[in-house]
């Protein structure tokens, strides 16, 4: 699969190209045979080799959470381990921060892992005889950092994950969620270029898991770390990811934002995978908003406004100021009343009480806004400029999923 394009003028922090991982005796013989393009099952049947990864290419950009997801056996954990050669690729290239990882010798690789990456595992990986502080500072200790300096950095990481006051406790005294916070603190203390998280929350109770997801999102909003996160949980991926790579049988089937994955699945497999996704947590205002026409300005007269609204075939418009900020809502009925009364100022007919949102807000976040006002919601950019609107009915319609048609003979009896 071809890598997704990087944003203009931005060099990816990680580039993987043509990655293969083949398990078995003399895996290179696969590349010298005609079986390379055959199915995983046929390759195993004919050669005894097991294809863990097949010709994978993708980029990860600085500061994003890139999620690898798929069912058990899809290759996601194998892939994340290949990226720092905990498992060596059979073929392909991996560049992180401009360095070719596959070309490193053992000493270079160890130094790279210690200083440029940090990994958080499902099983926490804490040392039971070390305190929270010592566990958090462990990566800095093996770098040779003096105790006072590493403890200062570790304490800051402990505060960041909300464990201040627990630094002298041992892992056995902590809940599962707290232990995982220590694992994240240890990764943060190392200040890595890339954090690798392999199903870090899957062993936690559902409530604690949701809390950890929320805390990770909050941390990311403050720290802007580059994270590669493995999960088999679709809702988790949709919640935390900037982009998702869906894997099947050692291949990446589709890469995209959560919205792209939900709205435009690339295959029947992906469509089935995301079938039960809850759209309200994924679809955004920018996806469902209508264009900003007609543009009615506060200095225009009622007759001009009437003509523009009539031509737009709408029964309302938002009134804008010189900076194109929405300053009022104008209904066709209120405008007609103004004209009948002989009024000449739109301000006398417009309602200044209306709700606004940003294009990034999810449909779920729009619900309370829709119930707070009878008017459509104005969508504004980061400078407050009006860029579109959303009707309340559109929010409801965006939640309606296509139901499978009943087969003949099925249904109520």
pLDDT of residue 278: 64
Would 164 be classed as within a structural domain? no
**349/262: higher pLDDT:** 349
User: Is 229 found in the same domain as 369?
Assistant: no
The residue range of the domain holding 385 is: 286-397
pLDDT of residue 349: 92
Q: What's the number of CA atoms in the CB half-sphere (13 Å) around residue 183?
A: 25
User: Is 291 found in the same domain as 386?
Assistant: yes
Final residue belonging to a domain, choices 277, 301, 335: 277
User: Is 380 found in the same domain as 231?
Assistant: no
CATH of the domain at 234: 3.40.50.300
User: Is 381 found in the same domain as 319?
Assistant: yes
Task: Give Cα separations from 184 to 124, 158, 179, 229 (angstroms).
Answer: 9, 9, 9, 12
Residue with tokens 């319609």: 397
pLDDT of residue 394: 84
Task: Reply yes or no on whether the pLDDT at 387 is more than 60.
Answer: yes
Would 151 be classed as within a structural domain? no
pLDDT of residue 399: 63
Spatial separation of the C-alpha atoms in residues 311 and 313, rounded to whole Å: 5
pLDDT of residue 279: 67
The confidence band for 2, taking pLDDT boundaries of 50, 70 and 90, is: very low
pLDDT of residue 410: 39
Final residue belonging to a domain, choices 211, 246, 277: 277
Spatial separation of the C-alpha atoms in residues 78 and 52, rounded to whole Å: 7
243-248 and 251-256 beta bridge pairing: antiparallel
User: Is 213 found in the same domain as 82?
Assistant: yes
- The predicted-structure confidence for 118-172, as pLDDT tens digits, reads as follows 988 877 778 999 999 999 999 899 888 999 999 999 999 999 888 999 999 999 9
117-121 and 194-198 beta bridge pairing: parallel
Spatial separation of the C-alpha atoms in residues 378 and 357, rounded to whole Å: 6
Return the HEC string of the chain.
CCCCCCCCCCCCCEEEEEEEEEECCCHHHHHHCCCCCCCHHHHHHHHCCEEEEEEEEEEECCCCEEEEECCCCCCHHHHHHHHCCCCCCCEEEEEECCEEHHHCCHHHHHHHHHHHEEEEECCCCCCCCCCHHHHHCHHHHHCCCCHHHHHHHHHHHHHHCCCCCCCCCCHHHCCHHHHHHHHHHHHHHCCCCEEEEECCCCCCCHHHHHHHHHHHHHHHHHHCCEEEEEECCHHHHHHHCCEEEEEECCEEEEEECHHHHHHCCCCHHHHHHCCCCCHHHCCEHHHHCECCCCCEECCCCHHHHHHHHHHHCCCEEEEECCCCEEEEEEEHHHHHHHHHHCCCCHHHCCECCCCEECCCCEHHHHHHHHHHCCCCEEEECCCCEEEEEECHHHHHHCCCCCCCCCCCCCCCC
Task: Give Cα separations from 329 to 71, 144, 295, 301, 348 (angstroms).
Answer: 49, 64, 12, 15, 11
The total of structural domains in the chain comes to 2
Q: Please state the rounded mean pLDDT for residues 12-20.
A: 96
251-256 and 91-96 beta bridge pairing: unpaired
User: Is 215 found in the same domain as 293?
Assistant: no
Task: Give Cα separations from 335 to 145, 300, 302, 311 (angstroms).
Answer: 72, 12, 7, 15
Task: Reply yes or no on whether the pLDDT at 1 is more than 60.
Answer: no
Please name the residues in contact with 257: beta carbons below 8 A apart, sequence gap of 6 or more.
241, 242, 243, 244
User: Is 372 found in the same domain as 340?
Assistant: yes
Would 121 be classed as within a structural domain? no
The confidence band for 285, taking pLDDT boundaries of 50, 70 and 90, is: confident
- The predicted-structure confidence for 298-322, as pLDDT tens digits, reads as follows 999 999 999 998 888 888 999 999 9
User: Is 267 found in the same domain as 303?
Assistant: no
The confidence band for 276, taking pLDDT boundaries of 50, 70 and 90, is: low
Q: To the nearest whole number, what is the mean pLDDT of the chain?
A: 87
User: Is 86 found in the same domain as 228?
Assistant: yes
Q: Please state the rounded mean pLDDT for residues 275-279.
A: 68
Determine the straight-line distance between the first and last CA of the chain, rounded to whole angstroms.
Answer: 48
Final residue belonging to a domain, choices 253, 277, 301: 277
Spatial separation of the C-alpha atoms in residues 178 and 187, rounded to whole Å: 14
CATH of the domain at 304: 3.10.580.10
User: Any idea how long the chain is?
Assistant: 413
Q: Please state the rounded mean pLDDT for residues 361-376.
A: 86
pLDDT of residue 176: 86
Spatial separation of the C-alpha atoms in residues 214 and 357, rounded to whole Å: 21
Nearest to 283 by CA among 399, 402, 403, 401: 399
Would 294 be classed as within a structural domain? yes
Would 167 be classed as within a structural domain? no
Would 168 be classed as within a structural domain? no
The confidence band for 412, taking pLDDT boundaries of 50, 70 and 90, is: very low
* Long-range own/partner contacts, residues 152-156 (CB < 8 A, 24 or more apart): 153/189, 153/191, 154/185, 154/189, 156/189
User: Is 273 found in the same domain as 316?
Assistant: no
pLDDT of residue 363: 85
- The predicted-structure confidence for 209-260, as pLDDT tens digits, reads as follows 888 888 888 889 888 999 999 998 888 888 899 999 999 999 999 999 988 8
Would 317 be classed as within a structural domain? yes
User: Is 78 found in the same domain as 218?
Assistant: yes
Spatial separation of the C-alpha atoms in residues 285 and 378, rounded to whole Å: 10
User: Is 66 found in the same domain as 28?
Assistant: yes
């Amino acid at each position: 699969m071809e890598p997704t394009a990087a944003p203009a003028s931005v060099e990816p922090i990680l580039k993987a190209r043509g990655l293969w991982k083949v398990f078995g005796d003399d895996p290179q013989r696969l590349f010298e045979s005609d079986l390379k393009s055959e199915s995983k099952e046929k390759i195993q049947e004919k050669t005894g080799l097991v294809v863990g990864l097949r010709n994978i290419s993708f980029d990860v950009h600085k500061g994003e959470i890139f999620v690898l997801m798929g069912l058990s056996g899809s290759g996601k954990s194998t892939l994340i381990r290949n990226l720092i050669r905990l498992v060596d690729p059979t073929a392909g290239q991996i560049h992180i921060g401009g360095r070719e990882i596959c070309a490193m010798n053992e000493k270079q690789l160890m130094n790279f892992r210690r200083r440029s990456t940090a990994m958080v595992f499902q099983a926490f990986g804490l040392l039971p005889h070390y305190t929270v502080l010592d566990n958090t500072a462990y990566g800095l200790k093996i770098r040779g950092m003096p105790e006072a300096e590493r403890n200062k950095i570790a304490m800051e990481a402990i505060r960041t994950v909300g464990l201040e006051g627990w630094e002298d406790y041992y892992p056995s005294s902590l809940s599962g969620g707290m232990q995982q916070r220590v694992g994240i603190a240890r990764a943060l203390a190392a200040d890595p270029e890339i954090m690798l998280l392999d199903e870090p929350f899957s062993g936690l109770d559902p409530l604690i898991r949701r809390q950890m997801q929320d805390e990770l999102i909050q941390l990311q909003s403050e720290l802007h770390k580059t994270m590669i996160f493995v999960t088999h949980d679709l809702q988790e991926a949709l919640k935390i990811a900037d982009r998702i790579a869906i894997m099947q049988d050692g291949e990446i089937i589709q890469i995209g934002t959560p919205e792209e994955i939900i709205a435009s699945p690339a295959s029947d497999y992906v469509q089935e995978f995301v079938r039960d996704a809850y759209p309200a947590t994924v679809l955004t205002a920018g996806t469902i908003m209508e264009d900003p026409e007609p543009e009615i300005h506060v200095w225009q007269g009622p007759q001009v406004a009437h003509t523009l609204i009539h031509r737009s075939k709408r029964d309302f418009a938002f009134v804008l100021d010189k900076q194109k900020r929405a300053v009022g809502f104008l209904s066709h009925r209120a405008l007609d009343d103004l004209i009948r009364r002989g009024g000449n100022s739109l301000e006398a007919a417009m309602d200044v009480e209306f709700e606004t949102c940003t294009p990034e807000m999810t449909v779920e976040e729009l619900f309370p806004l829709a119930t707070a006002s009878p008017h459509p919601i104005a969508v504004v950019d980061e400078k407050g400029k009006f860029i579109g609107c959303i009707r309340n009915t559109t929010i409801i319609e965006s939640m309606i999923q296509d139901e499978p048609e009943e087969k003949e003979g099925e249904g109520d009896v």
